[in-house]
Structure 1
């Protein structure tokens, strides 16, 4: 018994990449590309004609309306449609921004077609796709619609600095905040993760691939 065909759309302002990706995906029996769009505004005008679309491959950086705004719009108006972010590089801030906007995961544009197919299947079956950069715990919390993400962007930045040899005062200087504010980041993470030491934070960050060594 064959699996149902997954209906997708591709939103990217680079015509060659978008068309090439569509052609590659058409090689797979499991997916069908319903339409292509060049940015968020173009997507808005086209998606209304394709109520059966299940997943959108969404570029992050686009003119007129970028991936962040387009993803928010999709999740507000078509909450059942999944979004998979496409990124040129592992830009954690941009990727986390896409996840907060409602994307279920991300893939690098240099990924193989087979890996992309697996991520598409993963989002359709689970609602999210866990990858090397973002922890499953973060994705699950975002997917469940928490009004507040488990970590703020500043807390994630602080967690990154914790894995270095910098003192808390030096971290505060780099983040342009007071030592007291850095103490607040630390105590907040301790409480959220039930961890009591800086070493514990670093181990958690590495284990969940939130920090790089």
Structure 2
């Protein structure tokens, strides 16, 4: 059975490199490639018969995390593996929140990439070992956050909840502003207020705490 996949990356040299890695496997075929999320969505509109997408993160127009959220909303059956050079907590967390099925670093070998694709198609969650460890640490972190009376009585406004919900799927300030018909500076003010009310210092902490408190 031939598995159709897509490769999304703004670097054509890296697209070529991934193609070469997968050329050894006859049961994998490249349905299309694209240089950003906009191109990817356009090509899916024409033909969505893709089983899996290898998605870069840092791209123009619509980045990989934003594109992943959009694709999962419209084509939930398509599996998505982030294939990136970024291994920081925030990108990992946002990718998972957006619906990514796996997270690999671009240094992954041909055989590891192929096995990750098969594993993901079978319902697994393929991750580079170092990424898997970081993910476990992200999951453990909420347990170390202290609960107190202030946290229990947190009250966010409706607009603050809307901002936080969109932040949780990985949208940047500009996209949140467009969606809510407000300015980016207003979005920043809302986020500052959210941080103060939740007594946190980062987006990751705010999202983790809001989910634990079932605010979002």
* Whole-angstrom CA distance in 2 between matches of 1:50 and 1:25: 21
Partner of 2:132: 134
Stretches of structure 1 that go unaligned for 5 or more consecutive residues are 139-149, 160-176, 193-213
After TM superposition, give the deviation of residue 70 of structure 1 in Å. 0.3
Partner of 2:69: 72
Secondary structure of 1:24's counterpart equals helix
> Once the two structures are superposed, what CA deviation does each residue of 1:30-62 show, in whole Å capped at 9, x if it has no partner?
211110000000001111222220000000110
Alignment of 1:17 onto 2:49: no
Q: How is 1:1-213 mapped onto 2 (pairs within 5 angstroms)?
A: 4-132=1-129, 133-134=131-132, 151=139, 155=142
Contact 2:6 2:30 in 1 (8 A): yes
Secondary structure of 2:7's counterpart equals strand
> Once the two structures are superposed, what CA deviation does each residue of 1:108-155 show, in whole Å capped at 9, x if it has no partner?
0011011111111111001422442236x97xxxxxxxxxxx959x73
Contact 2:105 2:128 in 1 (8 A): no
Provide closer, same or farther for how the CA distance between residues 93 and 34 of structure 1 changes in structure 2, counting only shifts above 3 A.
same
Provide closer, same or farther for how the CA distance between residues 52 and 127 of structure 1 changes in structure 2, counting only shifts above 3 A.
farther
Name the structure with the higher helix share.
2
Partner of 1:207: none
Which structure's relative contact order is higher, taking Cα pairs within 8 Å and 6+ residues apart? 2
More displaced stretch, 88-97 vs 8-17: 88-97
C-alpha RMSD over aligned residues: 3.3
Contact 1:7 1:54 in 2 (8 A): yes
Matched length: 153
Provide closer, same or farther for how the CA distance between residues 49 and 127 of structure 1 changes in structure 2, counting only shifts above 3 A.
farther
Provide closer, same or farther for how the CA distance between residues 39 and 157 of structure 1 changes in structure 2, counting only shifts above 3 A.
farther
| TM-score when normalising by structure 1 | 0.62
| TM-score when normalising by structure 2 | 0.61
Contact 2:53 2:78 in 1 (8 A): yes
Secondary structure of 1:48's counterpart equals helix
* Whole-angstrom CA distance in 2 between matches of 1:86 and 1:108: 6
